[in-house]
Amino acid sequence: MEEREGEVRWDGLCSRDAAARDAALDTIGQAVLRRAESIASGAAAEGLPVPAARDGLGEALARLLMLSKRCPFPDVRAKSEAILSGVQELGIRIPRPLGHGPSRFIPEKETIQVGKEDATMHTLFAESFATLGRLDNVTLVMVFHPQYLESFLKTQHYLLQMDGPLPLHYRHYIGIMAAARHQCSYLVNLHVNDFLHVGGDPKWLNGLENAPQKLQNLGELNKMLAHRPWLITKEHIEQLLKTEENSWSLAELIHAVVLLTHYHSLASFTFGCGISPEIDCEGGHTFRPPSVSNYCICDITNGYHGVDEIHASPAGSIPVSSTESVCEVEALMEKMKQLQECRDEEEASQEEMATRFEREKRESMFVCSSEDEESAATRDVSRHFEDTSYGYKDFSRHGMHVPTFRVQDYSWEDHGYSLVNRLYPDVGQLLDEKFHIAYNLTYNTMAMHKDVDTSMLRRAIWNYIHCMFGIRYDDYDYGEINQLLDRSFKVYIKTVVCTPEKTTKRMYDSFWRQFEHSEKVHVNLLLVEARMQAELLYALRAITRYMT
């Protein structure tokens, strides 16, 4: 919000010092109330009814609403509420949140409540707030797994804010380009705000054709990475590195590739966990008063329903008895036990292993949802990328053959890691740590069962995702995937990884029906990291081939 005397600054709220936060909020509160008093007195003088928040006041009130609900510091929450109350006393309507909690798929009462977190989580929340200027809904869902969240936040902070080859506004614009490929308005909205905050040119937001040619040139790599990474060749890399005055350096390109893959996979997490719009962003709040039933027709048309309707269990799916669900868990555990016994007794030949991989790769093409829902983006994100018709295609369809990517020939551990670390120091290490945490994360539980070794199941999920991308591990028996992952689970995995914008709550509810929400979020962490690594492998292999 802009004042006549100058612009109100929100930066001081990110301070870890309580006195600095208090002083910043005092300044913000005075500016907001002055503007509110000006609007209220002007309306009264003209004999108008309750005035609307205008001249930037609405955005400031939405930001204060977010702080009152989502700030990890109690002093900021309380003071933000007091400012909102002061505005309301002047007769100006204040906003209220839309939706219920950080996820449309997970009941709010089952997520971590801000203000009720333990010491470890509070530290993570405070760190996230200080870094991002907000406690976003992604963080509030990821915090089911604090060890992973810590690594995720550290990596994202490094990519966006620490020293690196690309300027800050380029980083956020690349985030917008990547998220827009999946019509992820949640991430686009956040990075539009961040892009402007670090001094980005607003004209660039009118469409990719208004951005510098250098960024426009990245559009082709962006769309292939997001939808068909197996098509990336060293010629694509050469085109970016040798385009005269608009060329990329190798270090800049590595930074851009990591950002693109980070935001493609984060879009998967956003849709896979049903992340709600941020309170202060479009779709996250309304100035309309609540109706008797606690929602009005405008909310329904925007996809926001009553709390009972949203979180009916299992919403939008056929009710299943708890006995039947328990049987699913028991059956899965029994299959794991049998597969382990088979492993101990005999090992398939290399020829048989290769055949099983090809069979699973072929079968993965025919895994698709019976639902054909279009995502309801809250802003037009298509202007941030070119060729809007370009989407995911199974790599073996229409007779097109792409050679299998064998991990023994090019792997993250032996090749990708060192290439990233050499050209963008420390990032290889951060990514490696994040991959390992996601892959190895376990609490040795499955639904209501404890002391369970879940490594076989986690490996099946990871390798199934890589299999969909044509990536093969010679030492893995792909016959295990069909034993451990049923059709509804495969549909969910493929949708979240390949076309995340088509993910629905029905898909989320229909797999692992007896498992905890934290376990389903855990699945999403595996999907995020396996997808990101698959994209990186194809891009980094092409860069390696260009360099040699």
Nearest to 51 by CA among 64, 66, 38, 65: 38
Confidence of residue 192 (pLDDT cuts 50, 70, 90): very high
377 pLDDT higher than 60: no
pLDDT of 108: 92
What pLDDT score was predicted for residue 408?
93
- Rounded to 5 degrees, what are φ and ψ at 276? -80, 155
- Read off φ and ψ for residue 479, nearest 5 degrees: -65, -25
Q: Which of 185, 171, 172, 130 is nearest to 154 (CA)?
A: 130
> Nearest-CA neighbor of 431 among 536, 279, 295, 544?
536
> pLDDT tens-digit profile of 495-546?
999 999 999 999 999 999 989 999 999 999 999 999 999 999 999 999 999 9
Q: Rounded to an integer, what is the distance from CA 166 to the centroid of its chain?
A: 22
Supply 263's token pair. 């935001």
Helical H runs in 14-73? 18-45, 57-70
Average pLDDT over residues 86-90: 92
In the residue annotation, 184 being an active-site residue is answered as yes
Contact between residue 356 and residue 348 where contact means Cβ atoms under 8 Å apart: yes
H runs (alpha helix) in 97-184: 119-132, 137-142, 146-161, 168-180
* The pLDDT value given to residue 406: 93
Q: Which residue has the higher pLDDT, 369 or 69?
A: 69
What mean pLDDT do residues 335-362 have? 76
> Taking Cα atoms as reference points, which of 90, 68, 89 lies closest to residue 80?
68
Whether the per-residue pLDDT at 65 is higher than 80: the answer is yes
Q: How deeply is 326 buried, as exposed, middle or buried, from its count of CB atoms within 10 A (0-12, 13-18, 19+)?
A: middle
Phi, psi of 433 (to 5 degrees): -65, -40
Q: Give the pLDDT confidence score for residue 374 in this predicted structure.
A: 45
The residue among 92 and 317 whose pLDDT is bigger is 92
| Residue 363 clears pLDDT 80, i.e. is over it | no
pTM: predicted TM-score of the whole model, two decimal places: 0.87
Question: Can you list the positions of beta strands (E) in 362-492?
Answer: 405-406, 445-446, 449-450, 471-472
- How would you class 59 by CB atoms within 10 Å of its CB: exposed for 0-12, middle for 13-18, buried for 19 or more? middle
pLDDT at 354 exceeding the cut of 80: no
Candidates 245, 226, 238; CA nearest to 174 is 226
Catalytic residue among 71, 184, 281, 467: 184
Q: Strand 285-286 to strand 405-406: parallel, antiparallel, or no bridges (unpaired)? A: unpaired
Task: Give the C-alpha separation, 499 to 372, whole Å.
Answer: 11
Q: What is the pLDDT of residue 3?
A: 39
pLDDT band at 373 (very low <50, low <70, confident <90, very high): very low
Q: What share of the chain is helix, strand, coil (3-state, %, to 5)?
A: 60, 5, 35
Confidence at residue 42, expressed as pLDDT on a 0 to 100 scale: 82
Q: What percent of the chain stands above pLDDT 90?
A: 63
Helix (H) or strand (E) holding 286: strand 285-286
- Residue 289: predicted pLDDT: 78
The span from the CA of 221 to the CA of 83, in Å, is 47
- Altogether, the residues listed in the chain come to a count of 548
What is the spatial distance between Cα 476 and Cα 159, in angstroms, rounded to a whole number?
33
